[in-house]
Amino acid sequence: MDKGLHFMFCVIATMLLLRESSQTGEKNDLKMLAASKSGFGIDSRGPEEGLPTLTVTTILEDPYVMVRSAELEGYCIDLLKALAAMLHFSYKVKVVSDGQYGAISSNGNWTGMVGEILRQEADIAVAPLTVTSAREEVVSFTTPFLQTGIGILLRKDTASHEMSFFHFLAPFSKETWTGLLFAYVLTCFCLFLVARLSPCEWNEPKNEENHFTFLNSLWFGAGALALQGVTPRPKALSVRVIAAVWWLFTIALLAAYIANFTALLSSGSEQLPIQTFEDLVKQRKLEFGTLDGSSTFYFFKNSKNPIHQMIYEYMDKRRDRVLVKTYQEAVQRVMESNYAFIGESISQDLAAARHCNLIRAPEVIGARGFGIATTQASLWTKKLSIAVLKLRESGDLDYLRNKWWETSCLHKSRDRWSPLQPQALGGLFLTLAIGLALGVIAAVVELSNKSRHAAGHVKKSCCSVFTEEMCTRLRIKENTRQSQETSGRANA
């Protein structure tokens, strides 16, 4: 009986111990799960024993910081993780309360992320925060992790204009068309000259009319440009050399024209009428503005450039209508109205990558960079700067740039189409020039050979016969007209 009671007591004690152990394990699992979650105001990297914890302020802006499934992700979050791994610190991410980057308010206090650092509500700011002199006076910045500038974001249908009446001339530049016209006239003149000098083109220069008159030579060159066979057909070797070189020139030229014209039509993009900020000021179709209180706004305010001053005065007078509060609002307004947004070029490149009907104008001004802001005299400033440089040297920053700026749009407008310049056809024009020179030399050689044979029969010097032959061939029309007048008088 005692053994039975003792066995029952052992069984009950064992079951109680197992139950307590199971409950303890479940509690520990729940604690670990809660500690692993991140979000607003929660450690993105849990505090580890012996590691300092930094409070990081940031701002929600695609693709730098975004909310996905109650967690933060983006370029700046990936950068922060890489910096924490290199410098061995943990961090706590919080979104700036007023949604501002940082500017001086009317009462003299700083707003946004800069203000939170000054009030010691955050240790560092990891965000697309532009390094400016005004901000540098109150906080410290690390080496920029992204380089950018100020650009103009437009909607394609508002930025494009109708095709011109002479749009078919667009594949070549004005210089190329001028060079083509000069090459055409020069080649036709060489054909005319060489056909007159060459003995093989006619037998009796005094009695026979040459087929390659200047007008016929122009017609022959035009027919080659259109890939059409025209008469007269060349007989002499010198004339055939010039004709063959001109045919080669026209084939290559037409191939270049057709290829460039096809690229122009397939690109579907005209040369933007708004190329620069000066173009933006001169036009009246689009309103334009920037983020209220941003570094871009103060850039135009402090600039001494007359064009920049005009942009600032325009935005300042219409600040209630043209200034926007957030970047998302700016992009939405560009897409839905006749509005041009002036802002960071790198952010505009992202908008053009995400929205295929948007485009950024070519000109970028005010080169600047995004840096990590810290309190002045902070020991973290130099450490973070060195870490950013190491990430740049290792290619990690380029990897993050490509990762978060990936586009699904086939942006043909990014490969800016431009008219074909003469430099691209320099070899073709040189080949034509060499062919013309060879043709003229061949005609002179042919005429010299005939003059040498003729000099032996008439017992004159070769030079005098050569000169007579050349004068006769170049003045054949005048001699023919005189002979016709003489025969007409004799008949009378």
Grouping H, G, I as helix, E, B as strand and the rest as coil, residue 125 is strand
**Nearest of 106, 147, 185, 44 to residue 368 by alpha carbon:** 147
Residue 295 assigned as binding residue: yes
Phi and psi torsions of 230, nearest 5°:
-130, 160
Q: How far apart are CA 479 and CA 193, in angstroms?
A: 17
Separation of alpha carbons 295 and 134, rounded Å:
9
User: Which H or E run includes 108?
Assistant: none
Sign of CA dihedral 394, 396, 398, 402: positive
130 is in an annotated binding site: yes
- Alpha-carbon distance 144 to 129, whole Å? 10
Does 63 show up as a binding residue in the annotation?
no
Q: Is 344 annotated as a binding residue?
A: yes
Rounded distance between C-alpha atoms, residue 164 and residue 173, angstroms = 15
Pairing, β 124-125 against β 53-58: parallel
Question: Is residue 262 marked as binding?
Answer: no
- Token pair in block for residue 320: 């209630």
Alpha-carbon gap, residue 357 to 161, rounded angstroms: 15
Query: 136-165: b or e for each residue (b if 16 or more CB lie within 10 Å)?
Result: eebbbbbbbbbebbbbbbbbbebbbeeeee
Indicate the length of the chain as a whole number.
Answer: 492
Token pair for residue 123? 């240790």
**Is position 489 annotated in a ligand binding site?**
no
Binding residues: 128, 130, 135, 295-296, 344
**Annotated binding site for L-glutamate, which residues?**
128, 130, 135, 295-296, 344
